[in-house]
Amino acid sequence: MAQSEIEERAEAAEKARKAEKIDFKMVTFSLAGKEYGIDIMSVKEIAKAGRFTYVPNAAPFVRGVYNLRGDIISVIDMRIFFHLPAERKEEEALESLIILRVGEQVFGIIVDGIDKVVGISQASIQPPHPIFGDINVKYIKGIVENAGKLYIILDVDRIFAPERETERAADEAAALARPSPRAAPEEAPGFGADVASSFVKETLAALRGFHVGPTNEAWFASRFAEWKAGRKGADLQIKEASEADQFLEGFWSPATGRLWDDDYAQAVEAVLPEIEAKSINVWNPGCGKGYETWSLACVLRKRYPETRIKVWANDSDLLAISMAPNMVFPEAVPDYYVPFMTKGKNGLSFVQAVRDSIFFEYHDVMNANPLPPLDMILCRDMLSFLAPIDQKRLFGDFIDKLKPSGVVLTGLNERLGEGWTPFGTEAVPAFRKD
Amino acid sequence: MRVEYINPFVESAFNVLREVLQSDVRRGELYLKSTSMPVMGVAAIVGLAGDVEGRVLFDMDKPTALKIASAMNGEELKELDDLVKATITELANMITGQAVTKLHDLGFKFDLTPPAIFTGENMEVSNSDVEALIVPMETGHGKIEINVAIRERA
């Protein structure tokens, strides 16, 4: 009892101390009946102004330009920007204007009403919550309570920073394309196809664990167009696993489930960069039955004959990978591999030097990946089968484990996005860290 | 975990259990786990060192441990006393030892640490960055889970 009392008191004191220390000031204002704040350090001044000069062909949220004591600044209507209801004032009426400075840029934003400057403590700012407000969470720095009012603190750097400009434009375009709830419902021309494509995406994920995302979007778009044309008005949707397989037919990289043929092996060899190191560490997540691992090991032996090579190959499918270490080929193999094979009583198998370079592991990449710094990652047709959040985690591991000069080889129809520089060819996409 | 290591453990667990218990043993589906896991009540652990590092954990609940110890000693044991603990420790040692022998024949060099045994309620093992292979074994006396975490020395 006494213990909890003491704790309570300590907590209250802590709270008071937090509230006392004012280290953040913000200009508060209202938009559609809610209170917002902006860090005072980004605010240059406030003003009442009207009769903005209209700029043709500007985005709808740009009200025009304004002459601020000789400087021409653009004026953005925050209510339209955030899709909030905005009352249109008389032509002559004055609007409340906050002049912001973000980086080198100066511009004005129109709000419903400017309130005052409020001092708060940084520590009392709470993280934004998605339920809160009508504004995209990524534009909100946090939420703070002061004198019985809740203020949503906007992150102006996020909203207006120049490098975000394109992203914002895209966001805006997307937002504008969506019919606003107040507008009369109207069928956009491509509406049916959009819905069908999102259904197809969902069924692919449900039936085959295939997730459409930035890694494979381009392929999906072209495949969907093809699918639509092929179906000739018939039902576009995928209902069975066999149809999902049919849809994914063209997705697979060359020589999936068998040794790479001579042409593909040579194409991969050609893409591989010069590596100076004495040993090369390679990671091959999602190696399946192990054909691609053996193929790659041979390609690496040929490309870097003097170097020590180690390949860690994982798969979380125990049945698939359990046969990988002892692969025997009763029939002929592509010429490329002949120098790396010996003849045994059951057929051809790989020579000891190649064997010793590969570790096949029953391992789930979503668990910790204890690997040394890597020179290369071969990850074909595997990313698409991870949920987007898992993909993100795996990319984090890629960046973590890869040496600065390291390369990633992906599947034929997969691309790494932000943070990666592509090189390589059409058939063998390859990427380096930025 | 390297694919080559899996079978020796599964096989030796199967053989040893069938031999010492003189009863039917069924192997459950193998799977991977990396989160912390509850211990059922009695856990024997054997450390591995050498080319690799890791450990093997034999996990069962108290009634199972008593029944297995009773079967192995040929007498009815009712308390979790030193004899029961020593018996379970020995079982862990036998299974791991046989697996390591098989691995040695395949060219992998492992050393064992002497087994240790833990008993108690509500225990949990957590080393979250280690991925473990779980081999569930269904015996006539109850379930034993063999939890193998081995990794190559970097």
Q: What is the pLDDT of residues A248-291, one digit of tens each?
A: 888 888 888 888 988 899 999 998 888 888 889 999 998 888 89
Task: Indicate whether A186 belongs to any domain.
Answer: no
B82–A contact, CB cutoff 8 A: no
Shortest Cα–Cα distance, A417 to chain B (Å): 28
Helix, strand or coil for residue B88?
Answer: helix
Give the pLDDT confidence of A371-409 residue by residue, as tens digits: 888 999 999 888 888 888 888 888 888 888 898 888 999
Same domain, A106 and A197: no
- H/E run at residue B117: strand B116-119
Helix, strand or coil for residue B138?
Answer: strand
Q: What is the pLDDT of residue A188?
A: 38
B28–A contact, CB cutoff 8 A: no
Q: Which residues of B touch A321 (CB under 8 A)?
A: 3
B80–A contact, CB cutoff 8 A: no
Helix, strand or coil for residue B95?
Answer: helix
Q: B11-20, B48-57, B81-90: lowest mean pLDDT where?
A: B48-57
Work out the pLDDT band at A313, boundaries 50, 70, 90.
very high
- Higher-pLDDT residue of B11 and B34 is B11
Q: Which residues of B touch A316 (CB under 8 A)?
A: 32
Same domain, A31 and A140: yes
Given an 8 Å threshold on Cβ–Cβ distance, is B32 in contact with A368? no
Chain A residues contacting B, CB < 8 Å? 316, 318, 321-322, 324-325, 359-364, 367-368, 370-372
Taking the CA atoms of A166, A167, A169 and A170 in sequence, report the sign of the dihedral they define. positive
- For B3, the closest of A362, A370, A371 (CB atoms) is A362
Given an 8 Å threshold on Cβ–Cβ distance, is A368 in contact with B129? yes
Q: How far apart are CA A136 and CA A134, in angstroms?
A: 7
Q: Of A170, A204, A228, which closes a domain?
A: A170
- Higher-pLDDT residue of A61 and B58 is B58
Can you tell me the mean pLDDT for A316-333?
86
Q: What is the pLDDT of residue A2?
A: 54
Name the most confidently modeled range: A5-19, A233-247, B19-33: B19-33
Exposure class string for A270-288: b at 16+ Cβ within 10 A, else e = ebbeebeeeebbbbbbbbb
Q: How far apart are CA A152 and CA A140, in angstroms?
A: 7
Task: Indicate whether A271 belongs to any domain.
Answer: yes
- Higher-pLDDT residue of A123 and B94 is B94
Q: Are B68 and B21 in contact (CB under 8 A)?
A: yes
Work out the pLDDT band at B65, boundaries 50, 70, 90.
very high
Work out the pLDDT band at A166, boundaries 50, 70, 90.
very low
Q: Is the pLDDT of residue B120 over 70?
A: yes
Q: A108: closest CA among A95, A119, A117, A118?
A: A95
Instruction: Map chain A to HEC letters.
Output: CHHHHHHHHHHHHHHHHHHHCCCEEEEEEEECCEEEEEEHHHEEEEEEECCCECCCCCCCCEEEEEEECCEEEEEEEHHHHCCCCCCCCCCCCCEEEEEEEECCEEEEEEECEEEEEEEECHHHCECCCCCCCCCCHHHEEEEEEECCEEEEEECHHHHHCHHHHHHHHHHHHHHHHCCCCCCCCCCCCCHHHHHHHHHHHHHHHHHHCCCCCCCCHHHHHHHHHHHHHHHCCCCCCCCCHHHHHHHHHHHCCCCCCCCCCHHHHHHHHHHCCCCCCCEEEEEEECCCCCHHHHHHHHHHHHHCCCCEEEEEEEECCHHHHHCHHHCCECCCCCHHHHHHEEECCCCEEECHHHHHCEEEEECCCCCCCCCCCEEEEEECCCHHHCCHHHHHHHHHHHHHHEEEEEEEEECCCCCCCCCEEEEECCCCEEEEEC
Q: How far apart are CA A223 and CA A412, in angstroms?
A: 14
Can you tell me the mean pLDDT for A190-197?
63
Shortest Cα–Cα distance, A65 to chain B (Å): 57
Shortest Cα–Cα distance, A364 to chain B (Å): 7
Work out the pLDDT band at A19, boundaries 50, 70, 90.
low
- Higher-pLDDT residue of A158 and B67 is B67
- Label the pairing between strands A341-343 and B31-33: unpaired
Q: B96: closest CA among B58, B132, B142, B62?
A: B58
Work out the pLDDT band at A177, boundaries 50, 70, 90.
very low
Helices A262-271 + A291-303 axis angle, to 10: 60
Same domain, A292 and A198: no
Average pLDDT, chain B: 87
Q: Which residues of B touch A362 (CB under 8 A)?
A: 1-3, 6, 32, 133
Structure tokens at A380: 């074909």
Q: CA of A361: which chain B residue's CA is closest?
A: B2
Q: How far apart are CA A170 and CA A176, in angstroms?
A: 10
Q: Of A251, A276, A294, which closes a domain?
A: A251
Q: Is the pLDDT of residue A86 over 50?
A: yes
Q: What is the pLDDT of residue A131?
A: 62
- Domain B3-152, architecture per CATH: 3-Layer(aba) Sandwich (3.40)
Q: CA of B5: which chain A residue's CA is closest?
A: A361
Q: CA of A320: which chain B residue's CA is closest?
A: B3
Q: How far apart are CA A23 and CA A107, in angstroms?
A: 26
Task: Indicate whether A232 belongs to any domain.
Answer: yes
Q: What is the pLDDT of residue A160?
A: 78
Q: Where are the domains of chain B?
A: 3-152
Given an 8 Å threshold on Cβ–Cβ distance, is A363 in contact with B30? no
Task: Indicate whether A21 belongs to any domain.
Answer: yes
Q: How many domains does chain A have?
A: 3
Can you tell me the mean pLDDT for A53-58?
82
The Cα-based distances of B54 to A145, A294, B47, B148 in angstroms read 52, 27, 6, 8
Q: Is the pLDDT of residue A347 over 60?
A: yes
Q: Which residues of A touch B131 (CB under 8 A)?
A: 363-364, 367-368
| Token pair 């605010």 in the structure block, residue | A43
Q: Which residues of A touch B154 (CB under 8 A)?
A: 370-372
Task: Indicate whether A175 belongs to any domain.
Answer: no
Q: What is the pLDDT of residue A11?
A: 66
Q: What is the pLDDT of residue A101?
A: 87
Percent of chain A topping pLDDT 90? 10
Average pLDDT, chain A: 81
Same domain, A281 and A143: no
Given an 8 Å threshold on Cβ–Cβ distance, is B1 in contact with A363? yes
B3–A contact, CB cutoff 8 A: yes
Q: Are A49 and A101 in contact (CB under 8 A)?
A: no
Give the pLDDT confidence of A227-254 residue by residue, as tens digits: 888 877 667 777 788 888 888 888 888 8
Work out the pLDDT band at A18, boundaries 50, 70, 90.
low
Same domain, A80 and A143: yes
Q: What is the pLDDT of residue B151?
A: 82
Given an 8 Å threshold on Cβ–Cβ distance, is A359 in contact with B6? no
Q: Are A409 and A268 in contact (CB under 8 A)?
A: yes
Contacts of B72 (CB under 8 A, 6+ apart): B20, B21, B87, B90, B91
Task: Indicate whether A5 belongs to any domain.
Answer: no
Residue to mutate among B131, B133, B150, with most A CBs inside 10 A, is B131
Q: Which residues of A touch B3 (CB under 8 A)?
A: 321-322, 324-325, 360-362
Given an 8 Å threshold on Cβ–Cβ distance, is A318 in contact with B6? yes
Chain B 47-76, CB below 8 Å of chain A: which residues?
A: none
- C-alpha Rg value of chain B to the nearest Å: 15
Can you tell me the mean pLDDT for A184-213?
70
Instruction: Map B24-66 to HEC letters.
Output: CEEECCCEEECCCEEECCEEEEEEEEECEEEEEEEEECHHHHH
Percent of chain A topping pLDDT 70? 84
- For B131, the closest of A324, A359, A368 (CB atoms) is A368
Question: Which range of residues forms the domain containing residue A69?
Answer: 11-170
Q: Which residues of A touch B147 (CB under 8 A)?
A: none
Same domain, A268 and A302: yes
Q: What is the pLDDT of residue A6?
A: 66
Q: Is the pLDDT of residue A305 over 60?
A: yes
Same domain, A231 and A266: no
Q: Is the pLDDT of residue A42 over 90?
A: no
